Amino acid sequence: MEKSPQTDWLIYCRPGFEQDCVQEALRQARMQKPVIAEQPLIQPCSGYVIVSLNDQSLNYHQLIFARQLVQLHHSISSLPERDRLTPILEVVSTLPGKFGTLWLEVPDTNEGKLVSNFTRRFQALLETALRRQGILEDQAQEMRNSLPRLHCFFPDKSSVLIGTSNLRNSADAIMGIVRQSMPAEAPSRSTMKLSEAIAVFMDRSQQARLLRQGMHAVDLGAAPGGWTWQLIKRGIRVTAVDNGPMKGPLANHPLVQHIRQDGFKFVPRKAVDWLVCDMVEKPSRVATLIGDWFAAGWCKHSIFNLKLPMKQRLTAIDSALGEIRKRLDEEGINYLMVAKQLYHDREEVTVFLTRTKQ
């Protein structure tokens, strides 16, 4: 019997979630073909995993715990300290075709931060050499955007994993991280979670269409107001529901109506455009709440967080998302739902849910 071609996938993830990342990737692969090439070895808290498959493919957009998806072609485990450039060029020159972008990346760990000082210096040197050899495209932006990316991932200064990514099946951000800055006037750091979610789940045209001035949103568990702040800065009127106080400029903002009530008991007087929710609660309870809002027609779009348990995290997320799908399917609601563990998330997953036309 002819052996199936093996493909190695390099997947970045949040440190500490390597097991969840692998478990999810293997499950997706086994849905296509039950036998995988080999069971991967997991290095805890490394911020990345390598998964070897037969002829299965992986869909980045359907993976919750994956920050980035790279097809791994070569690894060099002992780069000479005095000349790291030559062995990398030798390997890259064996890859077919040209590349539009070169990304030098490191794990999102304390060790990775130390290596990033090296990669920042090394970037220009490697780019220049690759352009000189005609491997890295140096033409118009349109041409570069049609070519795959080249990734050089450095777990440490002496080793590198070399791979490529398809622009339509990967994250459009270095290290898979859409970084956000903390606005000085925002009342809490949680504001960056919603800001990142908007940037990841919606392109600019969708943001302009779905987050318009004059819309109305409800923020459940709003205090002290980090998520509400993201909405009002876009001109959206917010009903902020929380027994706790709103802080800073939100305490008396003309676009904010603060209702001191339990978010699970609040019922809107009329339907709104958006429901956002970042309450610390079991994912199953939040899932039921979200399903109730959509089934009742109280909102069109939602971004919400599901807090993860200490164990069986993928199982808990599967159950919560499955509950929402079942409820919406029973109600005959057409929808799009996407879930990701974002960079500014910790023990949680962010979900974007929107009604769609038939």
What letter represents residue 139's amino acid?
Answer: Q
Which of 265, 282, 300, 307 is flagged as catalytic? 307
* CA-wise closest residue to 152 among 180, 179, 182, 122: 122
* DSSP conformational letter for 150: E
Pairing of strands 48-53, 7-12: antiparallel
Phi, psi of 351 (to 5 degrees): -125, 135
Distance CA 86, CA 75 (A): 14
Residue whose structure tokens are 């099946």:
169
> Could you give the strand order of the β-sheet that contains 301-307, starting from the edge strand earlier in sequence?
256-259, 237-241, 216-220, 274-277, 301-307, 348-355, 335-340
User: Catalytic residue at 307?
Assistant: yes
* Cβ-Cβ contacts under 8 Å for 135 (sequence gap 6 or more): 92, 93, 95, 98, 99, 150
Residue in this structure with the two tokens 């970037």, named with its chain if needed = 123
Kindly list the catalytic residues.
307
